[in-house]
Amino acid sequence: MYNLNIIYEDNHIIVVDKIAGVLSQSDDSNDIDMLTLVKRYIKEKYNKPGEVFLGLVHRLDTVTSGVMVFARTSKAASRLSEQIRQNNMKKTYLAVFEEEIKQKQGNYTDYLLKDSKKNIVTVTKDKNKGKIAVLNYEVLNINKGRTLAKIELITGRSHQIRVQFSSRGYHIYGDAKYGAKNKEKKAIALHSYELSFIHPTKKEEMTFICEPKRYPFDEMI
């Protein structure tokens, strides 16, 4: 059904290009998810009997694509999770916005509040209720009134990029949930472009880059 793009794999980790429109992890919908797809790939490739261990250490929104790492051992899962807790895993995204962003680079710092029932995140001025969210961005290209930007996440909050930009009047193409005019059900123009972390056993820094090939990135890059 889906052809997985495996970026890198060894005995401890596997790095894949997440498919836009596919869940990171299964939920009540029973829709297919990346965790299941990668488990199936490992089971078939290595002819593994029984249940395949695969640790989910971070998630991408269903409508987002790009670089995602899974742990193939419990030790790797623990060490990668610790890097995330300490904000030592560097995450860089590419996004196409419906509007022209005038300021070529900048930093956004906000406090975000999540409504779990509605799965909506909003910016709040109440520092006691919200969680701090920080990102840096750089405009790479402007074409036909749209903006391609590279975004470095300093914190990793739910829907962070989507809500921080939309609160300032910049909407990711296709993201009607946060005010975009163009509505896409399965894929918005947000892509996990680069992921850097320390390998859980080799102790070496590793960086993985995945270029987005889909629309509207293909008109902007």
The residue ranges of every structural domain in the chain are 5-219
Q: What integer best gives the mean pLDDT of the chain?
A: 95
Catalytic residue among 17, 33, 61, 175: 61
Q: Name 168's Cβ contacts closer than 8 Å, sequence gap at least 6.
A: 108
**Confidence bin at 1 (pLDDT 50/70/90):** low
Check the CA dihedral 97-5-18-202 and report its sign. negative
pLDDT, mean of residues 2-8? 91
Residue 144, exposed/middle/buried by CB under 10 A (0-12, 13-18, 19+)?
Answer: exposed
Q: What is the rounded distance in angstroms from the CA atom of residue 84 to the CA atom of residue 114? A: 20
Q: Which helix (H) or strand (E) holds 204?
A: none
CATH no. of 5-219: 3.30.2350.10
pLDDT at 28 over 80: no
The answer to whether 61 is a known catalytic residue is yes
Would the pTM of this model clear 0.85, i.e. be above it? yes
